[in-house]
Structure 1
């Protein structure tokens, strides 16, 4: 039996924290336990503990132990005109909230996506264009706010990538530098700035992840 452990640390100017998870395969199903630092502050507790059962490509069931809340996620793929349409259904029992996410892969360079919260006006439409396999452009339209969000990312040599985002609703500008490595783990450094504020002070966050096989 193969077991995988993951440790994630996060730091920002307001607070810092960490997350640890342990997962192993049980046939074609994955079992996972995740714990945040809230479970260790002031002694061991169930705060910040969640358990999950996953069958990749089909379903994920998450159970939040302290909140006694269950999150269901089901995935499926159908074909429309020989193009794959990926469907995801998410339901949060405690909030009684259901989200439907769909993405149509037109070709390797073009993808259309939609995210809709059932029973509300919250709906987002996104177009993804990959140029030369290196640069990605993602305009996103929020129907409820009648506003656009934009994201541009580019892969760099050595597994690094840069991503810039702008949200017109909040006038928030963001910049992200990330690296994914199977040997040294991954990290992400983010800077964000609210352009609507008179004193434009960037907010910095850093996140790193280590993966181990046991």
Structure 2
């Protein structure tokens, strides 16, 4: 069996989280923990479990909150173009989200996200230029605002990405390196352009693949 270990460190919160995923045939089993699970004494705080069949469904269970989250995926054809649909329902807060993306070709894709009953809808357009640079403008109807991101592949193994949120005036920079079959690592930094007194937020994330 193959397994994946993901760790994340948040410098702003001085905390870390880890996720272990194991592939068992065509099903993936996943367990996630945070500092609250193991610091001082072992507990169930910050523990979540999941069962996933990639491309079909994900069932998440938050142990301390006793909350179930269901996610179902399907793909249909619209004018011979693939439309990927995702249905997400959170049991505790009775919240349902519909997510879809229509792939026009290898360079163009439209995405939509809608929370039922909220009146909130987000639209995003993705354009990939020469398989190297990706532009992603998005519009949030609830906030009446635009967000923008641009990313570019560097030396095949690295991806540099910049994001900007117009409502919060938050500028983000992200660097991801692909370690081939071993996994990858990512460093994300963000700064609030509207409040210079706030220090930049930095998080680091690494993913490792190995045989069990």
Q: TM-score, structure 2 length as denominator?
A: 0.93
C-alpha displacement at 1:22, in angstroms? 3.9
1:27-66 superposed matches below 5 A = 27-66=25-64
Separation of aligned partners in 2, 1:126 and 1:5 = 30
Change (3 A) 1:147 1:30: same
Q: Write out aligned runs for 1:113-124 (5 A).
A: 113-124=111-122
Q: Match for residue 23 of structure 1?
A: 22
Q: 1:20 to 1:200 in 2, by over 3 A?
A: closer
Structure 2 portions without partners, runs of 5+: none
Q: Does the 8 Å CA contact 2:160/2:176 hold for their aligned counterparts?
A: yes
Following the alignment from structure 1 to structure 2, what is the Cα–Cα distance between the partners of residues 57 and 185?
A: 21
Structural RMSD (CA) = 1.6
- Shift in Å, 1:33: 2.4
5+ residue gaps, structure 1:
none
1:134 aligned partner: 132
- Report the Cα distance in structure 2 between the residues aligned to 1:189 and 1:198, rounded to whole angstroms: 21
Over 3 Å off, 4+ runs? 182-185, 198-201
* Counterpart in the other structure of 2:82: 84
Structure-2 separation of matches of 1:109 and 1:157: 20
Q: Distance in 2 between matches of 1:43 and 1:199?
A: 36
Task: Say if 1:23 and 1:33, in contact at 8 Å, map to a contact too.
Answer: no
- Structure 1 counterpart of 2:143: 145
Deviates more, 1:196-205 or 1:31-40: 196-205
2:69 to 46, 65, 71: 71
Alpha-carbon distance between aligned partners in 1 of 2:124 and 2:6, rounded to the nearest angstrom: 32
Change (3 A) 1:14 1:37: closer
| Residues 1:14 and 2:7 are matched in the alignment | no
Aligned residues: 212
After the TM superposition, which of the residue ranges 60-69 and 7-16 deviates more from structure 2? 7-16
What is the TM-score of this pair, normalised by structure 1?
A: 0.92
